[in-house]
Copies of this chain bind each other. A is one copy, B any other.
Amino acid sequence: MRDRPPVPIKAAVRRTTLAVDVVVLSPRTDALAVLLIRAPASARERWSLPWDAPQPGEGLEDAAARIANAALGAAPAYFEQVGALSDGRRHPGDADVSVGIAALSPAGVGLPIEDAEWFPLASLPALAPRHRTIVDRAAAVVRQRVDQSPLAFRLLAPTFTLSDLQGVYELLLGRRLHKASFRRALQASYLVEPTDEWRSEGRGRPAQLFRYAPKKRRGARRGVRFDLFTE
């Protein structure tokens, strides 16, 4: 059992082409939307994710910020890495390895450039296979981390109503939530504080505006949930 290949302690590092592919997500008209840019006529698909190679010395999140900014016309509020992919799937720039990054932006922020457009997550046009995978993974990552990470608040303006917040959670989770339970749990979490402003939208009672203001508190210490469902 001692004739295994030696450990590559100081292996020769090969050179690889690397792309940062950004999934800019934003709530648009009752659906999560992705920002896509029009591809040149020569490309096989007509749309693609905003992407680029990182500049020398530029961090991956910095590159993602630059790329998102160029397409959206504003800096997204939050970045979450989706992971690195180097399967055989085709990338528009034929990069060997892609780092997928989800960028979250509130509705109505920024003015996308002429060649960019929002598409609902549920009805995307054809994308290069690797971009398709990255979008799917980004959506999964965002859904998975929504209650460990303040993701939802990054899809909202600095002040928001509790119905706004619940709406974002419903978009992210893809299902309706119970209003009273949602507010009770939110109250117990000390994540938001009320402002003294109210917003009136058409009919109905005006809603109080809140802001994200998490209070330090000890972790929940709850039991194991075994939330694996094999589908």
Contacts and interface: CB of A to CB of B under 8 A. Distances in A.
Interface of A: 1-2, 4-19, 37-40, 43, 48, 50-60, 67, 70-71, 73, 81, 83-88, 92-95, 97, 99, 111, 113-116, 144, 146-150, 169, 173, 175, 177-178, 181-182, 185-186, 188-189, 191, 214-221, 223-231
A127 to B, nearest CB: 14
Contact of A115 (B7, B19, B38, B185): B7
29 contacts: A4-B73, A7-B113, A7-B116, A8-B51, A8-B67, A9-B39, A9-B40, A10-B93, A11-B51, A13-B94, A14-B55, A14-B56, A15-B17, A18-B18, A54-B97, A57-B88, A58-B86, A59-B86, A59-B88, A84-B84, A84-B99, A97-B99, A144-B148, A147-B228, A185-B226, A189-B228, A214-B228, A214-B230, A219-B231
A147 B226 contact: yes
A53 B226 contact: no
Q: Mostly helix, strand, loop or mixed at chain A's interface?
A: loop
Nearest to A189: B226
Contact of A227 (B5, B11, B53, B148): B148
A48 to B, nearest CB: 7
The interface centre, meaning the residue of A2, A85, A226 with most chain B CB atoms within 10 A of its CB, is A226
Contacts of A16: 15-18, 53-54
A51 B8 CA distance: 7
Contact of A218 (B51, B185, B229): B229
Given A4-B113, A7-B71, A214-B228, A185 B12 contact: no
A57 B187 CA distance: 51
Nearest to A173: B224
B60 A86 contact: yes
The interface centre, meaning the residue of A38, A52, A81, A114 with most chain B CB atoms within 10 A of its CB, is A52
B18 A228 contact: no
B59 A185 contact: no
Contacts of A10: 40, 43, 92-93
